[in-house]
């Protein structure tokens, strides 16, 4: 695998610089305050109003705004300072106290009363409905003290925790295994392009390509996002020239392809994504999709996909197929990826010379990056996981404690390593569906647990694989890890204070949900009903979801993955195919894969032929620019919606 030509091309796409700087100074402190007190409240409000926050737009808006201010102040924004702004904007966009807004609704909801679960929701989640704090709509009340302290404590552990197993896996997959991480250059080259946008670097190809992608994103976003948003405010129905989210074809093809979800998604960003991802990983996804299209009718006619019936759409079809087969099969495929990864690592350590070289890379990182000892990362992981275990045993003493150890010391490292390899090779996140839920139900069915507290406990059930991409981006931009650690210390208190203040402010404006927050009013009841129905399964001690786990199907998925890998290796075919096939086999809705394949073919057989290997560097910058343009247009659309909704509301 390590000699794979395409992998080597992606590994060499953007070389890490020779010198690293932490980039932390007063500019980043001002940026943290700006993000926390200006960007976050808008995102929180829009989540309640239209169900979508600012998202990636916040990162690009923050960077562009600070870059323009720096120009007019005749000051420079270094590449590392820009990336720290990019990093902090992403970290600050998730409001911790927004979860408490949901909790206050859940404990008062009609769904909880209807199912008789109100009394079972623990007080460390939210005060009981008779609490004066809920009547007064305030978090500044003694009844909220324990939930807030628990939230803050969990957030502190999470901030420390990301420098544990996630960092250790980055050192293994990037420094030792030399995986390419194809999606890491997207954010890295995007920030580099903005850093080179000053007049003296106006001729930089990065800035030109980024600008081209940005304009394409603005034009497409105006049709795809802005037009439906604005027209929906003016007319009875929004005007959509491009179907959102996809064109549904499942009901039209069910006679030929029973139990197969069909359709097409017209998101232009998928074409750019296909240009960036490794070609054979995309083709593997296509192969996996074709296998699914051929296999599902056979499984249906043999009574395995028994939940599907004619008339189902994409969402219902995917859910039914996952329940009957692909959830268990996907778990087996994921395990096969983990076994392949462990086999590859063991191969890399064979021979005394390789052992010395790889161990040297693991315990002696490149100088200047700001790395800390690998053993410290493992110690952080052990400390944080044990903290979660102790906290959970205190909060849920009747749930079998052995499960917490299995979550933290078996499942988490296995799924994290599998995901780290998938991110490192194919730029894909791996998630095994319903494992958490099935384990809770197993605890109720076989160990006598009765209650719903476990659903709210901060269990050590994590996937740190995605963190490896962030660490790779940090390296590619020449940002010292010490600067990231300093930024975390600044962002955390800003995020917590801003989140508390603005959650309190938004709640005091009007009850949540209410007519002032239409998205929450429309959908929160349904979400609460689905959530509490699932949670009631641990009171009854049984659930259909537990029945969905089939050990035979799990082992068949694992065998299929290992056999596919062995065949590809034997014939010398690109090993990226097996990762792509895993991605294409019923992991999610397949409708976007068609445009990804189109992008992969355009990149491989047109742009690569025309621009040569330089295209490998153009594509990530083009995708970053497109994402920026789409994000800006989405932010403009949401701002327009926010203003009109606010003007039409009597509370404002």
Model pLDDT, residue 546: 57
What's the pLDDT band for 432 if we cut at 50, 70, 90?
A: low
Q: Do 427 and 281 meet the contact criterion of CB atoms below 8 Å apart?
A: yes
pLDDT reported for residue 187: 66
> Is there a contact between 274 and 282 (Cβ–Cβ < 8 Å)?
yes
Mean pLDDT of the chain: 80
pLDDT, residue 420, reads: 86
- Sign for the CA dihedral angle at 124, 125, 127, 133 comes to positive
Contact 585, 326 (CB under 8 A): yes
Mean pLDDT of 462-472: 87
Q: Which residue has the higher pLDDT, 519 or 241?
A: 241
Determine the Cα angle at 391 with ends 387 and 395, to 5°: 170
pLDDT at 35: 77
**For 106-160, what is each residue's pLDDT tens digit?**
888 888 888 788 888 898 988 888 888 888 888 888 989 999 999 898 888 888 8
Both tokens of residue 396? Answer: 């849920």
User: Is residue 247 helix, strand or coil?
Assistant: strand
Question: What's the Rg (C-alpha) of the chain?
Answer: 25
What is the pLDDT at residue 13? 67
Q: Is the pLDDT of residue 648 over 70?
A: no
Task: Find, among 117, 132, 89, 70, the residue nearest to 451 by Cα.
Answer: 117
Confidence of residue 54 (pLDDT cuts 50, 70, 90): low
Top-confidence residue, 583 or 262: 262
Which residue would you say has higher pLDDT here, 19 or 400? Answer: 400
- Check if the beta carbon of residue 374 is closer than 8 Å to that of residue 168: yes
More confident residue, 530 or 651: 530
Q: Vertex 283, ends 277 and 287: CA angle to 5°?
A: 140
Confidence of residue 541 (pLDDT cuts 50, 70, 90): low
Q: What are the helix (H) ranges across 93-183?
A: 98-108, 110-115, 132-136, 145-161, 165-170
Please give the share of the chain, as a percent, with pLDDT higher than 90.
Answer: 10
pLDDT digits (tens, 9 = 90+) for 247-261: 888 888 988 989 888
> What is the predicted pLDDT for the residue at 599?
93
pLDDT at residue 1 in the model? 43
pLDDT given for residue 202 in this prediction:
46
Q: What is residue 16's DSSP assignment?
A: P
Q: For residues 88-120, b (16+ Cβ closer than 10 Å) or e, as one string?
A: bbbbbbebbbbebbbbbbbbbbebbeebebbeb
The rounded distance, in Å, linking the Cα atoms of 202 and 193 is: 10
Residue 540: pLDDT band (50, 70, 90) is low
pLDDT band of 532, cuts 50, 70, 90: confident
Residue 404 predicted with pLDDT over 90: yes
| Per-residue pLDDT reduced to its tens digit, 219-231 | 998 888 788 878 8
pLDDT at 379: 94
Per the confidence metrics, is the pTM higher than 0.85? no
Q: Which residue has the higher pLDDT, 45 or 420?
A: 420
Rounded CA separation 622/175 (Å): 27
* Cβ–Cβ < 8 Å for 92, 495: yes
Report which DSSP code applies to 207.
H
With bands split at pLDDT 50, 70 and 90, how would you rate the model's confidence at 651? very low
Query: From the centroid of its chain, how far is CA 549?
Result: 25
Residue 360 pLDDT exceeds 80: no
pLDDT for res 465: 85
pLDDT at 484 > cutoff 50: yes
| pLDDT, position 513 | 81
Q: What would the mean pLDDT of 300-312 be, rounded to a whole number?
A: 88
Instruction: Check pLDDT > 80 for residue 38.
Output: no
CA–centroid distance for 437 within its chain: 19
Whether 389 shows a pLDDT value over 90: the answer reads yes
**What is the tens place of the pLDDT at every residue in 267-297?**
888 899 889 887 888 888 888 888 888 889 9
Check residue 73 and report its DSSP letter. T
pLDDT of 56 over the 70 cut = no
Higher pLDDT among residues 462 and 24, named by residue: 462
Res 384: pLDDT: 92
pLDDT of residue 508: 83
8 A C-beta contact, residue 465 and residue 423:
yes
Residue (of 331, 287, 337) closest to 596 by Cα position: 287
Q: Parse the chain into domains and list their residue ranges.
A: 5-100+109-632
- Report the pLDDT value the prediction gives residue 440, as an integer from 0 to 100: 85
């Amino acid at each position: 695998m390590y000699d794979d030509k395409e992998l080597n091309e992606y590994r060499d796409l953007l070389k890490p610089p020779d010198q690293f700087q932490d980039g932390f100074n007063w500019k980043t402190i001002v940026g943290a305050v700006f993000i926390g007190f200006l960007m976050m409240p808008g995102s929180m409000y829009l989540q309640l109003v239209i169900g979508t926050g600012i998202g990636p737009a916040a990162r690009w808006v923050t960077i562009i705004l600070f870059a323009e201010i720096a120009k007019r102040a005749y000051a420079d924004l270094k590449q590392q300072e820009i990336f720290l702004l990019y990093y902090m904007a992403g970290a600050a966009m998730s409001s911790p106290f927004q979860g408490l807004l949901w909790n206050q609704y859940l404990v008062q909801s009609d769904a909880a009363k209807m199912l008789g679960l109100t009394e079972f929701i623990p007080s460390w989640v939210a005060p009981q409905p008779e609490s004066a704090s809920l009547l007064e709509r305030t978090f500044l009340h003694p009844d909220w003290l324990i939930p807030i302290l628990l939230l803050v404590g969990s957030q502190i552990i999470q901030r420390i925790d990301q420098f544990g197993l996630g960092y250790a896996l980055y050192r293994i997959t990037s420094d030792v295994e030399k995986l390419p991480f194809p999606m890491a250059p997207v954010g890295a080259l995007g920030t580099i392009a903005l850093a080179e946008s000053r007049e003296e670097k106006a001729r930089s190809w990065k800035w030109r390509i980024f600008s081209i992608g940005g304009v394409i994103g603005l034009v497409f976003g105006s049709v795809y996002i802005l037009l439906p948003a604005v027209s929906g405010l003016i007319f009875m129905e929004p005007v959509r020239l491009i179907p959102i989210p996809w064109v549904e074809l499942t009901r039209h093809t069910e006679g030929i392809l029973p139990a197969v979800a069909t359709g097409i998604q017209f998101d232009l960003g998928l074409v750019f994504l296909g240009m960036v991802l490794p070609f054979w990983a995309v083709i593997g996804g296509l192969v996996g999709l074709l296998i699914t299209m051929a296999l599902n009718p056979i499984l249906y006619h043999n009574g395995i996909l028994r939940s599907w019936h004619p008339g189902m759409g994409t969402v219902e079809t995917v859910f039914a197929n996952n329940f009957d087969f692909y959830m268990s099969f996907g778990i087996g495929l994921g395990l096969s990826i983990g076994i392949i990864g462990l086999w590859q690592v063991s191969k890399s350590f064979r021979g005394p010379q390789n052992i010395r070289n790889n161990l040297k890379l693991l315990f002696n990182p490149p100088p200047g990056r700001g790395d800390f000892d690998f053993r410290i990362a493992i110690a952080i992981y052990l400390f944080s996981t044990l903290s979660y275990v102790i906290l959970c045993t205190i909060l849920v003493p009747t749930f079998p404690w052995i499960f917490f150890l299995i979550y933290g010391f078996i499942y988490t490292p296995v799924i994290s390593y599998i995901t780290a390899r998938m991110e490192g090779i194919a730029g894909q996140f791996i998630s095994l569906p319903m494992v958490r839920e099935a384990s809770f139900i197993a605890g109720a069915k076989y160990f006598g647990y009765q209650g719903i507290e476990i659903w709210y406990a901060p269990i050590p059930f994590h996937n740190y694989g995605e963190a490896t991409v962030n660490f790779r981006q940090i390296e590619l931009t020449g940002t010292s890890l010490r600067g990231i650690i300093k930024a975390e210390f600044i962002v955390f208190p800003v995020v917590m204070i801003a989140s508390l203040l603005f959650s309190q402010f938004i709640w005091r404006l009007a009850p949540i949900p209410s007519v002032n927050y239409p998205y929450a009013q429309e959908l929160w009841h349904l979400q609460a009903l689905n959530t509490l129905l699932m949670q009631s399964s641990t009171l009854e001690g049984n659930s259909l979801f537990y029945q969905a786990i089939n050990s035979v199907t799990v082992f068949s998925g694992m065998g299929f993955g290992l056999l596919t890998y062995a065949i590809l290796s034997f014939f010398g075919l690109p090993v990226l195919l097996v990762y792509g096939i895993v991605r294409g086999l019923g992991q999610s809705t397949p409708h976007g894969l068609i445009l990804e394949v189109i992008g992969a073919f355009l990149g491989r057989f047109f742009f690569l032929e025309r621009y040569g290997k330089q295209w490998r560097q153009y594509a990530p910058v083009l995708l970053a620019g497109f994402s920026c343009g789409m994000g800006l247009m989405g932010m403009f659309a949401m701002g327009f919606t926010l203003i009109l909704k606010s003007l039409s509301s009597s509370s404002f």
